[in-house]
Chains A and B, each alone.
Chain A
């Protein structure tokens, strides 16, 4: 080292967040006793402008060349302070932070213990800071394109925003049509505008946009690379229908031998479909798909003499020889908008969803009241004896939400309002029907929600506070056993139809997405954002953003807002055309490397290659790091036999002094 280290230590009070538990003055005084420390100060908010100015001035006036900030987590403010160093003309990587807030003052009550620990953490940071080296962050080109996973309203909105800004967007949707959950809904609360009417134009825009390449009935198989340079592999599943030739006329579905034999996924199991199908009339693209599991010809190899669909299709579009197709492309950013599944009501067996045909879920109700639904919008239900128009209707809220027994402690945020909306629609469609809602609490928190809830009650929908314990059948009626908890009256309520307001859950295949993209989950199992307040659309992985219900239950306006946020964030690297890549990458000491290649075998990113160099006249093999691919995890270093490969800023010689300090000091 050419220059003797001169350290400044800055201890933050963080208001009283740190100062109430840690004696900051004592820590500051202690810091001055540590080797190479020239300046030590404490200040109420180090991250504030005046706080940063303290550091900058000391760098200039005192000639500091290393800085230790003892404050919050480096995950919080490392970048802030690095920038301060840079502005003062110091290499930003000459910074080390001691986390005396999240991992000290906030978790220990005893002032003496917390102060002693803060001193140790500061000493360890000083020990490391002395040995830091200057690093340069480098920039690489970013591919001006984005991938959007999921074609629901979140994915559509994000894709449209990015595409409108002039970037290429690949939208990958698992089902044969875009539209997602929103397309299954009839009306939207609280304004009662028709869901399809506001959604279909966007679906059409998404499919027709010159900058959008829409891949429906496709799944992302592999994602490699990093921000600005993700390599994506997508499997376009065989539709067995020629995409270009199909006119969407529907003759095939009508002719299918298995017509109307299978539960329609789109109709939430209320309606039926053929083996060859269009999920719903307004589907985009309006191209038919053959489900290989339900198609006789594809599952059993035989469908009469010849499959009827082939005969029926005048365009000659049916093609049983089609194979899955793998497409590969490069993008600079990814928006994850994979949506949600509804709670499976069978997991609450006391409500008899699996036993009685007239116990249905909220999503099934949407399809029943929808004019494009299987009943043409008529609320007709089979009560086990006959088909009836129900007169006595009960809604049960919080099914699979706010319920520890199902593992879902969270509120699903939409059920109170969709129940109110459906209650209103039923009142509208079945004049004279008696509608009641069994609830725990009504949460009408959004814009216009409370007013709508009030309107529904004025229309004669009764709200009864109580969580039903059981539903059973008595003759042609269903009996709900419940206690009205406001009057402490046990009730047995006889009804024709029970609608379970099922909550929202993470997708059943969320695990796959997590492994694909290295996402994290929050305790509620939805995808975890980078910061609950300040980075709600980011993930821990740079360049990957979240939109919609995959991050947590939300209604349509919130979903659209988040999608627009994710799109804006995703456009940052695309618009800049460049991304900064980490400077804390591994480097090899070619003098000591013995060329065993262990590190190359360990590296999860294949960032290490073996090259031949000339060592004192002899050709020898050594490892070399491709810095654009290296992420700086350091797995190679822990496996190196000669300590020749080391991640910058996390070298052995930087970590070992930390260990020594934390071990020796008591």
Chain B
């Protein structure tokens, strides 16, 4: 039996809600898969859709963007921009033949440590089902 494929996930989390929610998951000792690698940004609105493409190019098997719940953005409107931009990107990815299970968006508030765990599990599970991603190859760190 072959070993289970462990996908590599890159996640972009807003500082105020989702990153704080992930911190809370830690403080509450909630356990979740180690496949997720977080990059902190101040707002989900900072996430340039190209970051998602870039992550897939650089070897991520799945990408997650998580921000404050719509209406709760620390910067008033940032997550609305994120929702619109990344919603478009999701369609574009599908059009480009990328398995939609590789890209997730979620809204996790600073008090939702348990929701964060669920989001991570779902993202990892979906990426695992989608298998290794090598459609866009770059994989190079320019130190």
Residues of A within 8 A of B (CB): 35-36, 73-76, 99, 101-104, 106-110, 113-114, 116-117, 120-121, 124, 127, 514-515, 518, 520-523, 528, 540-541, 584, 602, 604-605, 631-635, 637-639, 647, 650, 652, 655-664, 666
Q: Are B34 and A663 in contact (CB under 8 A)?
A: no
Chain B's closest residue to A582 (CB) is B42
In the bound complex, how far is the Cα of B76 from the Cα of A233, in angstroms? 17
Q: Are A657 and B47 in contact (CB under 8 A)?
A: no
Q: Does B106 contact A (CB under 8 A)?
A: no
Q: Give me 29 A-to-B residue pairs in the complex whose CB atoms sit less than 8 angstroms apart, sorted by A's number.
A: A99-B40, A102-B22, A102-B25, A103-B23, A106-B27, A108-B32, A108-B33, A110-B34, A127-B141, A127-B143, A514-B72, A518-B74, A520-B72, A521-B109, A528-B110, A605-B76, A633-B45, A634-B41, A635-B75, A638-B47, A639-B85, A647-B46, A655-B51, A659-B54, A659-B58, A663-B10, A663-B60, A663-B139, A664-B139
- Chain A residues positioned under 8 Å from B57 (CB to CB): 663
Chain A's closest residue to B74 (CB) is A518
Q: How many chain B residues touch A (Cβ–Cβ < 8 Å)?
A: 57
Q: Does B105 contact A (CB under 8 A)?
A: no
Q: Are B139 and A102 in contact (CB under 8 A)?
A: no
Q: Are A664 and B23 in contact (CB under 8 A)?
A: no
Q: Which of A75, A520, A632, A658 contacts B109 (CB 8 A)?
A: A520
Q: Are B46 and A73 in contact (CB under 8 A)?
A: no
In the bound complex, how far is the Cα of B73 from the Cα of A602, in angstroms? 14
Q: Does B43 contact A (CB under 8 A)?
A: yes
Q: Are B143 and A35 in contact (CB under 8 A)?
A: yes
Chain B's closest residue to A602 (CB) is B81
Q: Are A652 and B48 in contact (CB under 8 A)?
A: yes
In the bound complex, how far is the Cα of B10 from the Cα of A661, in angstroms? 10
Q: Are A633 and B78 in contact (CB under 8 A)?
A: yes
Q: How far is the CB of A598 from chain B (nearest CB, A)?
A: 11
Q: Does B87 contact A (CB under 8 A)?
A: no
Q: Are A75 and B20 in contact (CB under 8 A)?
A: yes
Q: Are A635 and B81 in contact (CB under 8 A)?
A: yes
Whether A638 contacts B26 in the complex (CB less than 8 A), given A117-B37, A664-B59, comes out as no
Residues of B within 8 A of A (CB): 8, 10, 15-17, 19-20, 22-23, 25-27, 29-34, 37-43, 45-49, 51, 54-55, 57-60, 71-78, 81-82, 85, 109-112, 139-143
In the bound complex, how far is the Cα of B46 from the Cα of A650, in angstroms? 9
Q: Which of B16, B34, B48, B60 contacts A117 (CB 8 A)?
A: B34
In the bound complex, how far is the Cα of B141 from the Cα of A657, in angstroms? 7
- Chain A residues positioned under 8 Å from B78 (CB to CB): 604, 633-635
Q: Are B49 and A638 in contact (CB under 8 A)?
A: yes
Q: Are A662 and B111 in contact (CB under 8 A)?
A: no
- Chain B residues positioned under 8 Å from A652 (CB to CB): 48
In the bound complex, how far is the Cα of B23 from the Cα of A661, in angstroms? 22
Q: How far is the CB of A68 from chain B (nearest CB, A)?
A: 14
In the bound complex, how far is the Cα of B17 from the Cα of A522, in angstroms? 11
Ranked nearest first, the 9 interchain pairs of A and B with the lowest CB-CB distance are A102-B26, A663-B58, A634-B46, A635-B45, A633-B75, A663-B59, A633-B43, A106-B26, A113-B34
- Chain A residues positioned under 8 Å from B15 (CB to CB): 75
- Chain A residues positioned under 8 Å from B20 (CB to CB): 75, 540
Q: Are A639 and B60 in contact (CB under 8 A)?
A: no
Chain B's closest residue to A637 (CB) is B46
Q: Are A521 and B111 in contact (CB under 8 A)?
A: yes
- Chain A residues positioned under 8 Å from B17 (CB to CB): 520
Q: Are B81 and A102 in contact (CB under 8 A)?
A: no
In the bound complex, how far is the Cα of B32 from the Cα of A114, in angstroms? 11
- Chain B residues positioned under 8 Å from A120 (CB to CB): 37
- Chain B residues positioned under 8 Å from A515 (CB to CB): 71
Chain B's closest residue to A128 (CB) is B39
Q: How far is the CB of A62 from chain B (nearest CB, A)?
A: 20
- Chain A residues positioned under 8 Å from B34 (CB to CB): 104, 107-108, 110, 113-114, 116-117
- Chain B residues positioned under 8 Å from A75 (CB to CB): 15, 19-20, 23
